[in-house]
Chains A and B, each alone.
Chain A
């Protein structure tokens, strides 16, 4: 049994900075868990605490049922793949991979056969006698993986192993890592800041921010039912568009969302999914809409109560879609979360006082939209997201999607705390 359980784990450094706060994670045997978040969110610190490379200030970590707080790294039976690979420069590939086995005094034949097997799997067979400095980045990364695989540990710990590779190689290696993990069935904790890696690799994804776990759920649940503004804005590329809006109830009892001077109709279905919206009638909310939940009305057709108009700022044909940058007459939602995401993104300038904001919509390639055209946008209002403007939490109701889901549930909800 190689489940890994983090229980109220916290990390405070000697100068008082807190890196991780009250982290609870239950990773079942064979699960691929991704820890994702912007730089400085504590994900690497958490991983290093599991590895034994950092002291655990609060709480406990248990691997395979044993609490390992005081256990040194070498006894924890976990293998780590570092971002910089950390290959031993003076040893050949063969000796690098076999290093751990040699230390454990396994018979020479067994070491050789295990190393040969791992080399086969990773395509390193003809490089076994070379030194790391004569290998390419991708090959070095595979040697680092080989070194971890060959030890048959209770868990793999990976610290942004793909960050140092070029884009194309990254895509290739991502698929290989996923395949290898599935074949071997070893519990894996994978740290990354890239949400694409998180979504494609994880059985479950845990989003962290400033040392606090925001939400842990399978990728699709994270995407469809983010628990707060941060998760909503972090997961998905291009990011979800977030604007200020007001909820109104018309005379006929129907709900509308007022975005600037325009109105969108909210169906009964949404109200039954999110009963708490009742409390926000007449009040300000933050509305989120994903780029793919919008379409050019000339292609999708006009629909009453589901249309927004906005002048076109920029049109980016991607081949499979067209990304349209539109200037919507509405105030952008700028909270702490969003500012942090924008900084991480590379400093998009956000001005809360501006009366317009740029939103990005993903249109069909059949659109004939041009720059400066007045775009008519069909919005799938059933898929709008609503957030409290004060604390950024998603507005749901009793049926609150949890921050924590148990791993056996592939979608859906269980009880848990929201942040």
Chain B
């Protein structure tokens, strides 16, 4: 059985290589036979076509189908127009999820950018800075599911009299006369607890980007500012920070998209219970639990529409930077 499978894998791999090679070789030969102008216009498409095809099949087509599905009912049999959207938006659970998502979208990017910038700047100035940066960056390698499991343990709650097994509560109860907190259950803390867990995995990413951007500010600008009479704070605030604004925009937009797409952390830690639902968990529940294609599609479409403007901003910023460079 295994031998069969290995054989199949090898076959698939070699077939792919052969087909790719043949495609490029013959495609090139065919196109070079065309008259000059056509040749030049068609040739780039030879190389880009496979990627475009894949993206079309796996991204564009599903996206369009989702939007179409959102206009139909549960199993896609009858057309219901905007019914799914209105139902969804008037639903209490969805409204709660939308509120939470807004909280995530505001809190996660700001906190990630702040923490990342702080660590990036301060780590430059200490000898053990590289160690700090590596420590902050490590959690990125952990899958969000694993992170969710880790933090579930960290937030564990035991009744007040018994020993606390969760790290956070163990720390909290060190303070005399303090009761342990039900981090994931109490509505006052649970969303923030989830955001914190996500932050732990994402701050390193922001920090690394800021670190690179800081390195691109010429040292002489700092020296010139110092000679002009600037204290270290002034150097940061008036020289470094203004030059970092484009980077901040990039980090914020990336983090906003991540915040909008958050699913694993919430699903693993609370399954969206206790008022911690976000858009993605609602969509999942509709699709797999309620098996309602139409509503799930509506939620997905809503999410896509929310992300689009951010992507536009990002691409525009990217183009602007390219023009300047």
> Which residues of A line the B interface, CB within 8 A?
51-53, 72-74, 76, 78-80, 82, 84, 86, 88-90, 99-100, 103-104, 147, 151
Chain A hits for B242, CB < 8 A? 90
Top 4 nearest A-B pairs by Cβ distance?
Answer: A100-B228, A86-B224, A86-B220, A73-B226
Interface 1/0s, chain B 222-258, versus A by CB < 8 A? 0111111111001000110011000000000000000
Count of chain B residues near A, Cβ 8 A: 17
Q: Once bound together, how far apart are the Cα atoms of A82 and B218, in whole Å? A: 12
Q: How far is the CB of A96 from chain B (nearest CB, A)?
A: 10
Which residue, A51, A79, A86, A100, has most C-beta atoms of chain B within 10 A? A86
For residue B221, CB closer than 8 A to chain A, the reply is: yes
Q: Per a CB cutoff under 8 Å, which of A74, A84, A88, A89 touches B227?
A: A74
A82-B220, A88-B221, A90-B243 given; A103·B230 CB < 8 A: yes
Instruction: Name the prevailing secondary structure of the A interface residues.
Output: loop
Whose C-beta in chain B lies nearest to the C-beta of A99? B228
12 contacting pairs across A/B (C-beta < 8 A): A53-B223, A74-B228, A76-B227, A79-B227, A80-B223, A80-B224, A82-B223, A88-B225, A90-B242, A90-B243, A99-B228, A103-B228
Please pick, from A53, A88, A89, A100, the residue contacting B229 in the complex, using a CB distance under 8 A.
A100
**Which residue of A is nearest B245, CB measured?**
A90
Specify which chain A residues have a CB less than 8 angstroms from the CB of B243 in the assembled complex. 89-90
Q: How far is the CB of B187 from chain A (nearest CB, A)?
A: 44
- Least CB separation from B224: chain A residue: A86
Collect the chain A residues with CB atoms within 8 Å of residue B238's CB.
99
Q: Is the CB of A84 within 8 A of B228?
A: no
Which residues on A sit within 8 Å (CB–CB) of B221? 86, 88
Docked complex Cα distance between A180 and B224 (Å): 21
Give Cα A100 to B229, complex, Å: 6
Q: Do A151 and B220 have beta carbons less than 8 Å apart?
A: no
Could you say which of B223, B224, B230, B238 has the most chain A C-beta atoms within 10 Å of its C-beta? B224
Chain B interface mostly: helix
List of A residues within 8 angstroms of B239 by Cβ: 88
A151 cross-chain contacts in B, Cβ below 8 A: 228-229
Cβ contact within 8 Å between A51 and B227: yes
* Complex Cα gap A104–B234 (Å): 11
* B220–A84 touching, CB < 8 Å: yes
Are B220 and A104 touching (Cβ within 8 A)?
A: no
Cβ < 8 Å to A, chain B residues 181-223: 218, 220-221, 223
In the assembled complex, how far is the CB of residue A48 from the closest CB belonging to chain B, in whole angstroms? Answer: 9
B170 smallest CB distance to A (angstroms): 44
Check A86–B218 contact: CB distance below 8 A.
Answer: yes
Question: Given the known A-B contacts A72-B226, A104-B229, are A84 and B218 also in contact in the complex, defined by CB atoms under 8 Å?
Answer: yes
Known: A53-B226, A99-B238. 19 other contacts (CB 8 A): A51-B223, A51-B227, A52-B226, A53-B227, A73-B227, A74-B226, A74-B229, A80-B223, A80-B224, A80-B227, A82-B223, A84-B220, A86-B224, A88-B224, A103-B229, A104-B229, A147-B224, A147-B228, A151-B229
Complex contacts, A78 vs chain B, CB 8 Å: 227
Residues of the A chain whose Cβ atoms lie less than 8 Å from the Cβ of B220: 82, 84, 86
Q: Nearest chain A CB to B235's CB is how many angstroms away?
A: 9
- Chain B residues, CB < 8 A from A53: 223, 226-227
Task: List chain A residues, Cβ under 8 A from B224.
Answer: 80, 82, 86, 88, 147
- Chain B neighbourhood of A99, CB < 8 A: 225, 228, 238
**A82 / chain B contacts, CB cutoff of 8 Å:** 220, 223-224
Interface centre among A78, A84, A88 (most CB of B within 10 A): A88
- Interface readout for B127-149 with A: 1 if CB under 8 Å, 0 if not? 00000000000000000000000
In the assembled complex, which residues on chain B have CB atoms less than 8 Å from the CB atom of A86?
218, 220-221, 223-224
B77: min CB distance to chain A, Å = 59
Q: A47 to chain B: closest CB distance in Å? A: 12
Which residues of chain B have C-beta atoms less than 8 A from A89's C-beta? 243
Q: Nearest chain A CB to B325's CB is how many angstroms away?
A: 12
A71 to B208, CA, bound (A): 34
A86-B224, A99-B225 in contact; A74/B218 too (CB < 8 A)?
no
Could you say which residues of chain B place their CB within 8 Å of the CB of A80?
A: 223-224, 227
- Least CB distance from B226 to A in Å reads 4
Point out the residues of chain B lying under 8 angstroms from A90, CB to CB.
242-243
In the bound complex, what is the Cα–Cα distance between A51 and B222 (angstroms)?
A: 13
Shortest CB-to-CB span from A154 to chain B, Å, is 12
Q: Which A residues are in CB contact (< 8 Å) with B230?
A: 74, 103
Residues of B within 8 A of A73 (CB): 223, 226-227
Of listed B223, B239, B243, residue having the most chain A CB within 10 A? B223
Distance in angstroms from B321 CB to nearest chain A CB is 14
List the B side residues contacting A104 at CB < 8 Å. 229
Q: Which residues of B contact A51 (CB under 8 A)?
A: 223, 227
What's the nearest-Cβ distance from chain B to residue A2, in Å? Answer: 16
Residues of B within 8 A of A72 (CB): 226
B234 partner residues in chain A, CB cutoff 8 A: 103
A344 to chain B: closest CB distance in Å? 25
Chain A hits for B218, CB < 8 A: 84, 86
Residue of B nearest to A147 (CB): B228
